[in-house]
Structure 1
Amino acid sequence: MNRKHFIVLLILGLFIAACKKNSAVIEQIETFLGFQKPTNFPATVYNFDNNPITKDGFELGRMLFYEPRLSRNNTITCGSCHIQSSAFTQHGHDVSHGIDDRLGTRNSPPIMNLAWNKAFNWGGGVYDLDTQPIIPITTHEEMDENLENVYNKLRAMPKYTSKFKAAFGTEEINTANFMKALSQFMLMCISSNSKYDKVMRKEAGASFTAEELEGYNIFKDKCGTCHTEPLFTDASFRNNGLGISPVNDKGLYTATLIETDKYKFKVPSLRNLKYTSPYMHDGRFLTLNGVLEHYNSEVRATQNVDPLLNNGRLGIALSVNDKTKITAFLNTLNDEDFINDKLLAEQ
């Protein structure tokens, strides 16, 4: 075999290998297994009997999640404020930036593990995932649109009428099916493959370092009551002693008008903190060290401050060593598979 023939065969071999690799990736994307509860997670809260996840329903929800026509001027998508590479948050912004670059008053919360959520939004007010998208679509600072306008825009597009038909058996685009489709996509945003998860599932080769294990034990002692495993939130609303914001956001009270709910906000999950800064409901802390120092020395006795933070002293005593080791443990909750999952990406 001469040199020319060898080079031709080599190039052909590389081409065939690349095609096989691409085919494998495409096959992986197209293989839809539906909702799979992680083995180390508890039972879900969402009622799947009313909205079973199907391939067509999920794909329709994904299309809608990344559809700019959900906004008034066709520029903002759900994915604009919930970016996959940032664990479906709007990384780098203290508060959300919406249509016409209008500013909201709260940090964009991550979209992950919603099947285990009983309430939504930092300040509550929504207790059914199937109705939650109404808020961002209609809010002045977010998408500033109304649902009927959205439906009319979608009805003019054959790709949507055919996809609604495939997902729900009818081309009709109505609120029930529109919301169910979005829920099907969001319910599939499951983050459960961090180092922590692999250790808990006793997967081969998975183990904490000595520092991570020490941090885990400190975390369970000092933080685990509110940030309960494995979701790392107890889904409650609490006042964690932050100073009152310039806009005087009263949190859960805005939804309930109950005096004892003032300044209570939803306890966030601590998963994927590497990707979701800044932190707190108004994005006031840029770093995890800032968050930990808040609990150590900056907790204020504001109205309804949580009793766990006012037990003999305000806050939670954390030494420099404690903070270092807790941070090491928190880093085991980052899930690269989640932020790189092609199934969840805009197609």
Structure 2
Amino acid sequence: MIKVIGSAIVIVITISIAVVWGTKPVKPKTTLVDFTAPFVFGHFKIPQDNPFTYESVKLGRRLFYDPILSGNNQISCATCHKQELAFTDGLSRAVGASGNPLPFNSMSLVNLMWGPRHFFWNGRVTSLESQALMPIQHVDEMDQDLDELIEELEHDETYQELFANAYGDISAENIAKALASFQRSLISANSKYDKYLRGEINLTDEEELGRKLFMAHPDTKVSLRGGNCIDCHSQFLTAGFATGYDGFSNNGLDKDSDLKDGLYEVTGNEAHRGLFKVPTLRNIAVTGPYMHDGRFNTLEEVLEHYNSGIKLSNTLSPLIIEADNREKTDQQSVSLHLTEKEKRAIIAFLHTLTDQEFLSNDAFSDPFRQESEK
């Protein structure tokens, strides 16, 4: 069942245990009774075949930080997803087992139970469970054979116990379930913006101006100035919208001749060429470089792109084409025409999305380091 306490949803999962005569009793799972999620984030769903339990999250956390998941036993999920960087890696493009830069920037792992149900920059999988095993097997990422991984885990007494407690046996399916459970627990909801939403604090005048610009689509007919951010980044999650492919966009990075496939690679629909997943802006101040290929190093560069660097293409978002704080006189150019003061204000607001508690929460940190410090 789900309980609403204040502005948070508390999930209470009840699991019945069947004990069959003559078989080994199954250890009861421990419900995550202290798991909370902001009410404003909206509805979410946890797979029925992968209930959210203390045991599954504990196992997933250990796997996430364990280089045993890679073929050379040197690379873990945390290599490309560092907690202090909101589970990104600070690189323009991720580097894995092969040493070759991957095509894309490492995405932040935060608030994954909401937003588009399509994962990776091109949306090629539709569940966290499906997503979990792909980097492990990819030759340039972790380059691990699943059968060999299972054999290694089966020879580890700690994992024998953790898997027995969480799922029963050690299998590829249960590795994926555990990693997905841990990633679902990575909720960021205590930034300055969240405290503002809860009525606990006020924003500065500059941050408030930035918030208003973030939330507004410019309309010269009514003298409404805006940064056009909310058209792609939903108000509270600041991620892409969940309906269909609404969470994907061509935001004007390249002209037609330079467009990468993006979502088109998955759907085969020409209208989706050059569309990539809209990332969350939660903790955006610590997750640079930015864009799917990490081409911008600073938030100032990102704002300047939207202000004066948009490139026209056949699949460019109409919401970007229409957005202008001046009367349009030239349909061949796209610009927000923000002032320097407005750009600084938007960036000031983006800094209110940094959640220091999330970046240092022991529940999300490296369990091996904690064990060594005891």
**TM-score in same-fold range (> 0.5):** yes
Q: Which amino acid aligns with 1:232?
A: T
Q: 1:86 to 1:247 in 2, by over 3 A?
A: farther
Question: In the alignment, does 2:170 pair up with 1:195?
Answer: no
Q: Report the Cα distance in structure 2 between the residues aligned to 1:62 and 1:34, rounded to whole angstroms.
A: 17
Q: Report the Cα distance in structure 1 between the residues aligned to 2:61 and 2:120, rounded to whole angstroms.
A: 21
Partner of 2:107: 109
Question: In the alignment, does 2:32 pair up with 1:37?
Answer: no
Q: Secondary structure of the equivalent of 2:279?
A: coil
Partner of 2:132: 133
Q: 1:346 to 1:268 in 2, by over 3 A?
A: same
**1:28-52 CA distances to partner (integer Å, 9 max, x unpaired)?**
xxx96453222332111x3243322
Q: Report the Cα distance in structure 1 between the residues aligned to 2:157 and 2:269, rounded to whole angstroms.
A: 47
Say which of 286, 299, 318 aligns to 1:307. Answer: 318
Deviation of 1:54 after TM superposition, in Å, equals: 1.3
**1:190-247 CA distances to partner (integer Å, 9 max, x unpaired)?**
00100000110112xx111111111111111121111111100233111000026998
Question: In the alignment, does 2:324 pair up with 1:325?
Answer: no
Report the identity percentage.
39
Partner of 1:123: 122
Q: Report the Cα distance in structure 2 between the residues aligned to 1:128 and 1:158, rounded to whole angstroms.
A: 30
Partner of 2:86: 87
Partner of 1:53: 52
- TM-score, scaled relative to structure 2: 0.80
Q: 1:78 to 1:245 in 2, by over 3 A?
A: farther
Contact 2:256 2:312 in 1 (8 A): no
Deviation of 1:307 after TM superposition, in Å, equals: 0.7
Q: Secondary structure of the equivalent of 1:231?
A: coil
Q: Report the Cα distance in structure 2 between the residues aligned to 1:88 and 1:33, rounded to whole angstroms.
A: 25
Question: In the alignment, does 2:280 pair up with 1:269?
Answer: yes
Partner of 1:217: 212
Contact 2:255 2:312 in 1 (8 A): no
Q: 1:337 to 1:86 in 2, by over 3 A?
A: same
Deviation of 1:154 after TM superposition, in Å, equals: 0.8
**1:230-285 CA distances to partner (integer Å, 9 max, x unpaired)?**
10023311100002699863111112221111000001111101210100000000
Aligned residues: 311
Contact 1:81 1:96 in 2 (8 A): yes
Q: Which amino acid aligns with 1:231?
A: L
Contact 1:270 1:333 in 2 (8 A): yes
Partner of 1:13: none
Partner of 1:227: 233
Pairwise CA RMSD of aligned residues? 1.8
Contact 1:40 1:197 in 2 (8 A): no
Give unmatched runs, 5+ long, in structure 2.
Answer: 1-30, 217-227, 242-246, 323-327, 368-374
Question: In the alignment, does 2:199 pair up with 1:207?
Answer: no
Q: 1:244 to 1:147 in 2, by over 3 A?
A: farther
Say which of 253, 260, 270 aligns to 2:264. Answer: 253
Q: 1:231 to 1:322 in 2, by over 3 A?
A: same
**1:93-118 CA distances to partner (integer Å, 9 max, x unpaired)?**
10001114221010000000001141
Q: Which amino acid aligns with 2:214?
A: F
**1:128-156 CA distances to partner (integer Å, 9 max, x unpaired)?**
11110122111121111222221111111
Partner of 2:3: none
Partner of 1:23: none
Partner of 2:224: none
Deviation of 1:183 after TM superposition, in Å, equals: 1.0
Q: Which amino acid aligns with 1:112?
A: V
Question: In the alignment, does 2:334 pair up with 1:339?
Answer: no
Question: In the alignment, does 2:79 pair up with 1:73?
Answer: no
Q: Secondary structure of the equivalent of 1:37?
A: strand
Contact 1:189 1:344 in 2 (8 A): yes
Q: Report the Cα distance in structure 1 between the residues aligned to 2:258 and 2:232, rounded to whole angstroms.
A: 26
Contact 2:255 2:311 in 1 (8 A): no
Q: More relative contact order in 1 or in 2 (CA 8 Å, sep 6+)?
A: 1
Contact 1:129 1:183 in 2 (8 A): yes
Q: Which amino acid aligns with 2:111?
A: N
Contact 1:83 1:89 in 2 (8 A): yes
Contact 1:154 1:161 in 2 (8 A): yes
Contact 2:213 2:346 in 1 (8 A): yes
Q: Report the Cα distance in structure 1 between the residues aligned to 2:92 and 2:53, rounded to whole angstroms.
A: 36
Give unmatched runs, 5+ long, in structure 1.
Answer: 1-30
